[in-house]
Structure 1
Amino acid sequence: MIRILFFCFALALLCPGMALAAEEAEKSSNSTHEMESLYLQPVTVTATKRTQKAVDVAASISTVSDVEIEELSAWKLGEVLDILPNVHLKSATSGDSIIIRGLSSYDTSLYTPVGLYVDDVPYPLTYMQNLLFQDIERLEVLRGPQGTLYGKNSEAGVVSIVRKAPDNEFRARVFADYGSYSTVRLGGSVSAPLVKDLFFLKADILRYQTNGYMDNDYKDDDRAGMDETSQGRILARLTPTSEIDLRFGLDVSHTEKNIGFLRYATGKAATGPFTVMSDAEDKAHEDSVNPHMVLKYEGDAVELTSVTSYRDYRYGFVSDLDRTSAFVGYSDMDLDQNDFSQEIRVASPDNETFTWLLGAYAGLNDMDVQMNRIRARSPASVFTETDAQESNYALFGQATYTLFKNLRLTAGLRGEFAHSYGEQTRITGAAAFEAYSKTLDYFELLPMVSLSWDVTSNVTAYGSWSNGFLAGGYNYFSADSLGTFFYDPEHTTNYELGLKTNWFSKKLLANISAFYIDIRDKQVREEDPNGGIGVWKYTNAASAHSIGVELELKARPLPGLELTGGLGYSHAVVDDWTVVNDGVPYSYEGKRLPWSPDLNYHVGAGYTHENGLFGKVDLIGAGLQYFDAENSLSQVGYALFNARVGYAAESWDIALWGKNIFDNRYVTKKVKDNAGDILVEDGAPQSFGVSVSWRF
């Protein structure tokens, strides 16, 4: 009943508002100011490492503003990504992973094919990829390989988040949210000029906690999905001259959570949705400290950018091995990683004829992972420790030349070298001890070319060819010998055509793109025939491709009314991959790549009246997806309906919201145990809440 009432309330606010908007639009049709309010203004982006309009980027790019994020009642990155065509966040206790155009990494990989950056600072690990939003200005998503500008681990695309920076204006905001499952979000930010035109300071703080929607009936615990996160940020900005902008930042976060999501859906231990029967308390912790510095110099002849970052990151978990009430054993992991990166870019100022960018990058990484499986009976317990150090260096450049007034040619090249050394010790049972090590070196050349043509002032066509790669690495999770300890890089080449258009005096934007991605040396997980239970090896045994289209629409037909829509389709399949089990070959040719829906879509309508009332409804859908290489585990298509209604005054606002209002059931993960029984992780059920904020 509550979801029906909420749905009716949202429509009741939205529909009369649209009728009123139509009446007011007619009355003010001769008003220049009113007509300008209908225009969809050009969006400026920086994900290409230059400041330019999104329409001038010869690639499929989506942007989401801070206002749009708030209208979605989105608190985490995944809630925004899922509205964008051919973008999906794989949410699982084994690690979150951003997936673009059907390209995913294997389930327990620490790295993904999509680069995530916040204010130019990298967030490289899967465990970092569903971050909590905190005072965001905008989000940008570049689809397709971005190897020339970003290098490794951007073979499917890049997500760039830009946060608000302090300036001469004093701003302060506090907010509070309360929702289902005792979910609370509290936070605030303050930004102030300490010395006008010279020194500015900004501080953000956020606390998020929830009991979660999972229950452990064996322990009579309704907090099996508990999450408690605290994070903060301080940013100091110094502008001694009009050309120099220097920023020092410090980000810190701490998370304690329960990860009791994986439950049996079939077999003797099967439970109902949102319920587990486990004798253990599955839990995880996460800590991150990230100081960083960004220097920008904008002179008449050259622009310089320097980005320096260091991160001390720790993650660990304890998890029930068998996911039942019987004591069989548990697994635990402790990861300690330190990253340092330095990038320097030099670029020409904007020029109508020729622009260029040159850059150099250096990165150092030190990782230690302890992975243990403690068993009460046979097979024997296994204790492993993996140490790996990596250094990588790159030089890159990109230039755009305007051949004619409306025709632009862009070309770029990156050369990247990496050297890594990894070693692993493995103890099985009481006596068996193994140690092995491997040095990995690679050098990658990553070219790109694009051509962009302004067909008219309202239509831009482009074509591009680009390359990317997902770095090789070490199998910390299940290696049992040198042969299963390492794997090599994966490579992609992207071919893309697109149109960017605006219609009806910039009241409608419509962008469409089509792509084909050739995937070589695909990193895949295979059962090791010489290993024991749960021993997997990761190889580069497969080739694959992905083909698809994206469509994005945004319209402002009436004052205060905005309509949005998006559709993505990707067909990502294996071309060649054969394994031999018990002497019998098996081919995966034609099988879909896992972890990504073949189709996703979004339709949204929002209205804001000049008296402060507002409303927003969104329909977010996903098509068929598979969770395993054999395509035996799947999730059929589903759709979620969300809504938000409220009132905004000059200095405060309040909103009621609902997510998955019609309580559609779906899962985000499926796996099989050795007996063939299926375990799943349930997607979030319906939830409702209220949000309030004050601005000073």
Structure 2
Amino acid sequence: MTVVLVPQLLSVGVCAAEEKKDELFYLEPIVVTAEKTAQDVQRIPGSVSAYTKSVVEERHVEKLYELTDYVPNVFVKKNSTENIISIRGISPMQGSLFSATGLYVDGVNYPIHQMQNLDFIDIERVEVLKGPQGTLYGRNSEAGVINVITSSPSNEFGGKVFGEIGMWDSRGGVPIYKEGGIVNLPLVEDTLAMKVAVQNYTTDGWMENIGPSSQDDATRVRHFNGRATTRWTPSDAWDISLILQGQDETDGIGVYRFIDGPYATGRNEIAWDGPNKNSVDANAQILKAEYHGTDVDITSVTGRHSYSQDYEYDVDMTPMNLYSMFPVFTADYDVEVWSEEFRIASKPGKNRRFDWLTGVYLYGEDIQTGNYSMTDHVTDQDNWGAALFAQGTLHMWERWHFNLGGRVEYARLEGEKTVNAAMMGMGVTTMADTVDDTVFLPSASISYDLTPEVMTYGKVSRGYLSGGFDSYFAMTEELFSYDPEYSWNYEVGIKSKMLDNRLMVNLAAFYIDVEDKQVAEYVSPYERYFVNAAKAESYGVELDVQYKPLPGLTLTGSLGYLESEIKDWTTEGYNAWDYSGNKTPGAPEFSYAAGAIYRWESGFFVGADVVGLSSYYANAENDRKLDGRTLINARAGYEGERFDVMLWARNIFDEDYEERSMSWMGGTLIQQGEPCSFGLLVAYKF
């Protein structure tokens, strides 16, 4: 018996050693579902950046906006209660409820900005698709799409528990705590399994309130997130998953401070006499069923998402009660979203002449928003829509591939609003309107394989950002609604893997033309309205590089160049302005990242990254410019069979930077960026 087993054990050992060597020396192939079917990311004719679980964890990326620092020409305009994602200079106007970037978690859309502040937990992969994705994703994907795919259960028992302690380098040091666990439970052998992941994140934050308010939790954060995934595979053909997600979050939102004027404070300090609090309670249920037949694959994704948010803050943001009639601004959002996507696709395989997929998409949204200050604005929206889409790829000859797709989508938004302006002597006003649109969203691309490892492509696609309602400022029915905006994206690029799969270089150039752009125009200091009054254009270049020059050493780099400006927009009357030729707000000309990580076969690793962007304008008038920034992050640790240990640091040199800037109360009010933070993460695997 021993004589028989020794060669087998040697063979297994040799294979394991070779597999480890390949992992250390060659770039990992990444399969994505960006185009609704499994594909090598390097074979998609378009700009797609993919980040696997290992990349997310080794860079200690804990939130969605932290990941976007590594993606060229992707920028997140952060504020205290939402993240507004801008891709290639395309983002919605300030005050818009819906995002121009589609965010999908396990195939289900998170439609409004407030829902896009994601904490990562047990993520399998994140895909960033740049440029309009209307054919496969429909409305509100005009800028692009971000897909977040969570980890699925397996048929082996295992998991991990983890704990983290960190520190903000401010106020003499403010602790950061995170703890949680992941467990995989096989319930029926090779048939039924469950995976549960939970985590809790707490910190008192880096900002201190030195004002008279009794609330000293200016940036206190309490985040609890959990997910349970049950996977049933009754046969080789069926794969069915039920995903249950929940989040309970409370944030102190006192991150705005005056840098000049009568109420200026020092760094990491605010002086408010009122509250600053944001609370979120949300849950989601997703049912995904896949049937893998002999000739076709059939997929159904059914989703429901309930999201509730309430926040309040001191209106004047000073230590004085300057607005005694309405000292506190409060708002609430209640969103109920359901969706169903059903699609059929040809079986993937080599030597096929034609690949195709087709499907239908249905959705409904029940959205209530309330904004309460000088006037109370309460808006109810009942939105629904349906779409039919198809896409096919013809593999002409051996190296040419032609892709053509189209989507017909109908969207209907019904809105009702009540405005109580009694405090301003104007009484109560009610209004109602309907915005509906039927749109055709085509796309076409052609690609050519210069070699089996190098592909060039050209692509054109149409984008669409739906119309909507002004839930913040509109005082009359005439100003209540606005129409959709549209865009065309033209892109050429090259994707390559060279040097025996040790070097990846992707280069893309694009031009985007936006028509009927949605903008906000002020008619008084307290009233603005949304109109489709402008044109805009964006063009630029993106470069992504990965290189493994030595076993264990991985070098990465990205560079984005962007020119994004407003065309043909002039206002009259109050705040008259000619915006034509101005830069688009929140669109840095350059964004860049460079990093290196070295892994020893023993499990030890060390790495560092530089992420940054150039200066950009905070407003459409281009009279308020924010400086660029360059941040350095680093980590070092050990990954073993049972234990993982990581030391990490973000913004090592404690660069002082601003996220937003505005004129307010006789001074300049800014949203301060995060200072230096560092910590220790320990995990036990079983």
Measured against the shorter chain, the TM-score band is over 0.9
The AA in structure 2 aligned to 1:580 is: E
Residues 252-263 of structure 1 mapped to structure 2, 5 A cutoff: 252-263=246-257
Contact 2:215 2:275 in 1 (8 A): no
Q: Give the Cα–Cα distance (whole angstroms) in 2 for the partners of residues 235 and 438 of structure 1.
A: 40
* CA separation of 1:692 and 1:33: change in aligned 2, threshold 3 A: closer
- Report the more deviating stretch, 33-42 or 298-307: 33-42
- Name 1:7's counterpart in structure 2: none
Secondary structure of the equivalent of 1:528?
strand
Q: Give the Cα–Cα distance (whole angstroms) in 2 for the partners of residues 94 and 236 of structure 1.
A: 32
- 1:580 pairs with 2:572: yes
- Name 1:316's counterpart in structure 2: 310
- Name 1:644's counterpart in structure 2: 635
**Aligned counterpart in structure 2 of residue 433 of structure 1, from 421, 428, 431:** 428
Contact 2:442 2:461 in 1 (8 A): yes
Q: Give the Cα–Cα distance (whole angstroms) in 1 for the partners of residues 117 and 416 of structure 2.
A: 30
- 1:563 pairs with 2:555: yes
Residues 472-491 of structure 1 mapped to structure 2, 5 A cutoff: 472-491=467-486
Q: What's the offset of the Cα at 1:34?
A: 4.1
- Name 1:200's counterpart in structure 2: 193
**Aligned counterpart in structure 2 of residue 601 of structure 1, from 585, 592, 599:** 592
**Aligned counterpart in structure 1 of residue 535 of structure 2, from 526, 543, 547:** 543
**Aligned counterpart in structure 2 of residue 457 of structure 1, from 443, 446, 452:** 452
Runs of 5+ consecutive residues of structure 1 not aligned to the other structure: 1-29, 374-380
- 1:347 pairs with 2:345: yes
**Aligned counterpart in structure 2 of residue 148 of structure 1, from 135, 145, 153:** 135
Q: Give the Cα–Cα distance (whole angstroms) in 1 for the partners of residues 491 and 417 of structure 2.
A: 42
Q: Give the Cα–Cα distance (whole angstroms) in 1 for the partners of residues 18 and 81 of structure 2.
A: 56
Q: Give the Cα–Cα distance (whole angstroms) in 2 for the partners of residues 609 and 32 of structure 1.
A: 14
Q: What's the offset of the Cα at 1:84?
A: 0.9
**Aligned counterpart in structure 2 of residue 274 of structure 1, from 268, 272, 276:** 268
* CA separation of 1:601 and 1:497: change in aligned 2, threshold 3 A: same
Contact 1:211 1:222 in 2 (8 A): no
- 1:74 pairs with 2:43: no
Structure 1 residues 219-256: Cα deviation after superposition (integer angstroms, max 9, x where no partner): 37653011101111111111111111111111111111
Residues 616-655 of structure 1 mapped to structure 2, 5 A cutoff: 616-655=607-646
Q: Give the Cα–Cα distance (whole angstroms) in 2 for the partners of residues 392 and 36 of structure 1.
A: 45
The number of residues matched between the two structures is 655
Secondary structure of the equivalent of 1:131?
coil
Q: What's the offset of the Cα at 1:142?
A: 0.7
Contact 2:316 2:665 in 1 (8 A): no
Q: What's the offset of the Cα at 1:539?
A: 1.2
- Name 2:650's counterpart in structure 1: 659
* CA separation of 1:32 and 1:289: change in aligned 2, threshold 3 A: closer
Q: Given the two structures, how large is their TM-score scaled by the length of structure 2?
A: 0.93
- Name 2:52's counterpart in structure 1: 65
Secondary structure of the equivalent of 1:662?
coil
Q: Give the Cα–Cα distance (whole angstroms) in 2 for the partners of residues 255 and 591 of structure 1.
A: 38
- Name 1:612's counterpart in structure 2: 603
- Name 2:181's counterpart in structure 1: 188
The AA in structure 1 aligned to 2:287 is: M
Secondary structure of the equivalent of 2:360?
strand
- 1:360 pairs with 2:360: yes
Contact 2:81 2:253 in 1 (8 A): no
- Report the more deviating stretch, 34-43 or 500-509: 34-43
The AA in structure 2 aligned to 1:528 is: V
Q: Give the Cα–Cα distance (whole angstroms) in 1 for the partners of residues 412 and 304 of structure 2.
A: 19
Secondary structure of the equivalent of 1:42?
coil
- Name 1:174's counterpart in structure 2: 161
The AA in structure 1 aligned to 2:411 is: A
Q: Give the Cα–Cα distance (whole angstroms) in 2 for the partners of residues 107 and 661 of structure 1.
A: 32
Q: Give the Cα–Cα distance (whole angstroms) in 1 for the partners of residues 24 and 661 of structure 2.
A: 47
- 1:553 pairs with 2:540: no
Q: Give the Cα–Cα distance (whole angstroms) in 2 for the partners of residues 400 and 245 of structure 1.
A: 26
- Name 2:440's counterpart in structure 1: 445
Q: Give the Cα–Cα distance (whole angstroms) in 2 for the partners of residues 674 and 573 of structure 1.
A: 30
Secondary structure of the equivalent of 1:581?
coil
- 1:217 pairs with 2:210: yes
Q: What's the offset of the Cα at 1:42?
A: 2.3
Q: Give the Cα–Cα distance (whole angstroms) in 1 for the partners of residues 80 and 290 of structure 2.
A: 39
Q: Give the Cα–Cα distance (whole angstroms) in 1 for the partners of residues 215 and 308 of structure 2.
A: 27
Secondary structure of the equivalent of 1:467?
strand
Contact 1:94 1:107 in 2 (8 A): no
* CA separation of 1:353 and 1:266: change in aligned 2, threshold 3 A: same
- Name 1:22's counterpart in structure 2: none
Q: Give the Cα–Cα distance (whole angstroms) in 1 for the partners of residues 413 and 130 of structure 2.
A: 29
Q: What's the offset of the Cα at 1:128?
A: 2.0
Residues 493-572 of structure 1 mapped to structure 2, 5 A cutoff: 493-529=488-524, 533-572=525-564
Residues 20-419 of structure 1 mapped to structure 2, 5 A cutoff: 34=21, 37-180=24-167, 181-218=174-211, 219=213, 222-327=216-321, 328=323, 329-351=327-349, 352-373=352-373, 381-419=374-412
Structure 1 residues 669-696: Cα deviation after superposition (integer angstroms, max 9, x where no partner): 1122375x32100000111111111111
Secondary structure of the equivalent of 1:296?
strand
The AA in structure 2 aligned to 1:560 is: G
Structure 1 residues 626-660: Cα deviation after superposition (integer angstroms, max 9, x where no partner): 11001111112210011101122211111111110
- 1:680 pairs with 2:670: yes
**CA-atom RMSD in angstroms:** 1.6
Q: Give the Cα–Cα distance (whole angstroms) in 2 for the partners of residues 393 and 67 of structure 1.
A: 37
Q: What's the offset of the Cα at 1:274?
A: 1.9
Q: What's the offset of the Cα at 1:32?
A: 9.8
Q: Given the two structures, how large is their TM-score scaled by the length of structure 1?
A: 0.92
Structure 1 residues 468-503: Cα deviation after superposition (integer angstroms, max 9, x where no partner): 111111111111111221111111110000000122
Q: What's the offset of the Cα at 1:171?
A: 2.2
Q: What's the offset of the Cα at 1:71?
A: 1.6
Contact 1:235 1:247 in 2 (8 A): yes
